[in-house]
Chains A and B, each alone.
Chain A
């Protein structure tokens, strides 16, 4: 459906976006993730031909787009920016806006609008002025406005940003169902990894304006291409080491004199990053660790405990900083505090080794 080649967007001396190659297949939902300022919105605007790149080619249905094709091309897509940006009209007139731009007859327009208002559960808001909508309602209206166009390509910029958790969860579920039901080709950008996991068929990681990795969510989250991607996708323990042994799909990495095991095929002598998610680390009281299949068992004092809602982030000094994440209940039951000695264990299959 859409293919981007050698795209470069610069603002003065600053490179805002650099994408070597990116393709979106028909019916696919591509989630573009990255922190604030990574270039996600820039990518979306470039895909919509709303900003002029310094170089690069965008192909739509196999045909390269020329500058004169911009307007015609945009009639095949629908863009939803981060803010709803509704006009001071009724909900009906807002949702009908793009259809009016395309000159759809009034009767057909009304049927299409009513259909999408119903599918997004906002049919009762049809005649309400847009200024009287709540944040969640306005977001649904802006989505309805785009979906009513039944576009070939849907571009969403942080569609769930600034919504309270229950509203966000409801809208996320509804959109997931809609995209699956309609097979709508979609590129949506988000900084939220959960949203990417829920909605994306593939995930593209954008860091510092550069596309770092593209692949199925399980691949990107489990096999990050480099330490920066690893850090962004939630691997909080990232330490430098060197492979000392490799056999039968198992590598042994020397990290500050400690030998840690992971899954991989990297030859001995190679410098690597050893990466681990906090959820994959289990903590035991010093004398309480039973026998287990975990190949890695380390001990050390707790350096820091940081509450994070219902969970607690625990940093253990095992000769390097190892991060675990426990429930508050576990922390209380085990009487964990700074300075308390613990045993940390994790499976070799949970660790990832990235050559450096």
Chain B
């Protein structure tokens, strides 16, 4: 119990600016996971839309692959990305292993199927006749898609939250491709693992509370936007 209490006090001290390294870790976590989520959105939103509205050979296979990808183990992603980016690997010349860019790549691979799959579901839940009605009012394909995105915005925001949640809290891939290097690739989750392995439980608890607070604040903002749409 005293361990938890020490952790809470430690967290407050860290939040008050006692340790600049903690802010650096926190900001890096936000940056890599935020960018990974954004890239996943840029990829997943159009891809999910095509899967939801399109009819083409292989569509069912692609959908099942996306759904499988939603449950992809982060350590497996970390392993594959590590092999690709390793100095002796096919993309080793890029020099990305053990950099924040490597973590962003791995986290994008984790988040993209989540955003894609949930986008496809969100659009498939809309009345299929809505598409015809919009086209029947003279909408271009792009105008139709934008209108459908508007109608599915609550579910799409949930997809975004799920994508962010899947990467802000993962540790396996970040550890494997980032290396948990102090000042360079150490994020909140890998820092928690490190402090726990050192027996520094108070600090680990503090970082955990920070991670929870960070996740909560991001989701609070997105939820506010989402529920504002419900109230309207």
* Contacting pair B232 A88 (CB below 8 A): yes
Residues of A within 8 A of B229 (CB): 88
The verdict on B42 contacting chain A, using a C-beta distance below 8 Å, is no
Interface segment among A76-84, A253-261, A291-299: the answer is A76-84
CA distance A77 to B127 in the complex (A): 22
Give the size category of A's interface with B.
20 to 34
* Contacting pair A45 B132 (CB below 8 A): yes
Which residues of chain A from 70 to 103 have any CB-CB distance to chain B below 8 Å in the complex? 71, 74-75, 77-83, 85, 87-89, 97-98, 101-102
Min C-beta distance of B143 to chain A, whole Å: 5
Given A88-B151, A101-B143, also A81-B136 (CB < 8 A)? yes
CA distance A129 to B135 in the complex (A): 22
Given A81-B129, A129-B232, also A87-B147 (CB < 8 A)? yes
- Over the window 280-305 of chain A, the binary record of Cβ atoms lying under 8 Å from chain B Cβ atoms (1 yes, 0 no) is 00000000000000000000000000
Given A87-B150, A87-B151, A88-B151, also A71-B140 (CB < 8 A)? yes
* Contacting pair B127 A98 (CB below 8 A): no
Residues of A within 8 A of B137 (CB): 78-79, 97-98, 101, 145-146, 149
Given A81-B133, A82-B129, A88-B151, list of 12 further CB < 8 A pairs?
Answer: A48-B135, A50-B136, A71-B140, A78-B136, A78-B138, A79-B136, A80-B136, A81-B132, A83-B129, A98-B138, A101-B137, A102-B138
Which residues of chain A from 215 to 256 have any CB-CB distance to chain B below 8 Å in the complex? none
* Contacting pair B127 A83 (CB below 8 A): yes
Chain B interfacial positions (CB closer than 8 Å to A): 127, 129-130, 132-140, 143, 147, 150-151, 229, 232
Which residues of chain A from 34 to 93 have any CB-CB distance to chain B below 8 Å in the complex? 45, 48, 50, 71, 74-75, 77-83, 85, 87-89
The verdict on A155 contacting chain B, using a C-beta distance below 8 Å, is yes
Closest to A75 in B: B138
Min C-beta distance of B228 to chain A, whole Å: 12
Interface pairs (7), CB distance under 8 Å: A74-B136, A81-B133, A81-B136, A97-B137, A101-B137, A101-B143, A146-B137
Min C-beta distance of B136 to chain A, whole Å: 3
Min C-beta distance of B127 to chain A, whole Å: 6
Chain A interfacial positions (CB closer than 8 Å to B): 45, 48, 50, 71, 74-75, 77-83, 85, 87-89, 97-98, 101-102, 129, 145-146, 149, 155
Min C-beta distance of A247 to chain B, whole Å: 54
Residues of B within 8 A of A149 (CB): 137-138
* Contacting pair B140 A85 (CB below 8 A): no
CA distance A102 to B134 in the complex (A): 12
Residues of B within 8 A of A50 (CB): 132, 135-136
Min C-beta distance of A104 to chain B, whole Å: 11
Given A85-B127, A129-B232, also A74-B138 (CB < 8 A)? yes
Min C-beta distance of A320 to chain B, whole Å: 45
* Contacting pair A155 B136 (CB below 8 A): yes
CA distance A129 to B147 in the complex (A): 16
Closest to A97 in B: B137
* Contacting pair A101 B151 (CB below 8 A): no
* Contacting pair A74 B135 (CB below 8 A): yes
Residues of A within 8 A of B232 (CB): 88, 129
CA distance A79 to B134 in the complex (A): 9
Residues of B within 8 A of A79 (CB): 132-133, 136-137
Given A83-B127, A85-B129, also A101-B139 (CB < 8 A)? yes
